[in-house]
Copies of this chain bind each other. A is one copy, B any other.
Amino acid sequence: MLPKYKEVAYEIEKDIINRKYDEGNKLPTVEELMKEFQVSKNTIRSAIDLLVEKGYVYQVQGSGIFLRQNHIEGYINISNMKGLTKDLPDIARKELKNKIIKFEVVKADEDLANKMKCDIGAEVYNVKRLRLLDGKPFSIEDSYFNKNIVVYLNNEIIENSIYSYITEALNYSIGFANKKIYCEKLSNEDAKLIGLSQGENTIIVENTVFLTNGLVFDVSKSIYNYLDTKFIMTTNNI
């Protein structure tokens, strides 16, 4: 059961996506939204704050709540964090397949234990997958999952969506993430997998993902094909 302000934000988000407010590029006034959803002013404002944070709208005091272009065809929103399978409405029409390169249980060394805030020697899943969109190599993802949290994985799960499994089957809720973005030369092995040349630079995203209680459950490094992948993000000046 979602709280009211999230429910309202979700409804308005749907309306925005369905182009209900395209004419005028403007949302109804706060007062009109209060009447529409039968909630107090603060609840509407909390809902709008969420939409501002997501980059859907901006507010101008004394004037209104305006739509903001936050989506560009072909770009991946790097702020999303529900996993590739759920993240990409844009490419969702395409078929996403995961080819397993490696799937094993290893013991965390000092570096990994540090990143995962777990004990040295703790068991972790190491999953390396080649991700294909309509059969075309899209990214190489090398992930580690804390086995104390993600107690079980199998081939079927990792060929589909690990994130769906974690949030729906294991019922964990994902809280936040740190991301590092940089450019790095491809190894011979990775270059072959993703269809580029060895020694060529491409774009890398390292991800450390936390549950809402602050535990690290996933540390990953993803290598993207720079020819096909551009990221977009929105920021607010707070």
**A73-91: which residues lie under 8 A (CB-CB) from chain B?**
75, 78-82
Q: Are A235 and B81 in contact (CB under 8 A)?
A: yes
The answer, among B42, B178, B214, B233, for a CB contact under 8 Å with A181, is B233
User: In the assembly, what is the distance between CA of A229 and CA of B181, in Å?
Assistant: 9
**A45-62: which residues lie under 8 A (CB-CB) from chain B?**
49-50, 53-55, 58, 60
Task: Tell me the number of copies of this protein.
Answer: 2
For A236, give the chain B residue with the smallest CB separation.
Answer: B176
Residues of chain B with a CB closer than 8 A to A41's CB = none
Q: Are B78 and A214 in contact (CB under 8 A)?
A: no
Asked whether any CB of chain B lies closer than 8 Å to the CB of A169, the reply is no
Would A229 and B182 be within 8 Å (CB), given that A54-B238, A214-B60, A237-B175 are in contact?
yes
- Annotate A215-238 by CB proximity to B: 1 below 8 A, 0 otherwise: 000000000001001111111111
User: In the assembly, what is the distance between CA of A75 and CA of B206, in Å?
Assistant: 13
Residues of chain B with a CB closer than 8 A to A212's CB = 58, 60, 237
The answer, among B50, B82, B214, B238, for a CB contact under 8 Å with A66, is B214
Footprint of B on A, CB under 8 Å? 42, 49-50, 53-55, 58, 60, 63, 66, 68-70, 72, 75, 78-82, 173-184, 200-203, 210, 212-214, 226, 229-238
Q: Which 4 A-B pairs have the closest CB atoms?
A: A183-B226, A201-B201, A182-B230, A183-B203
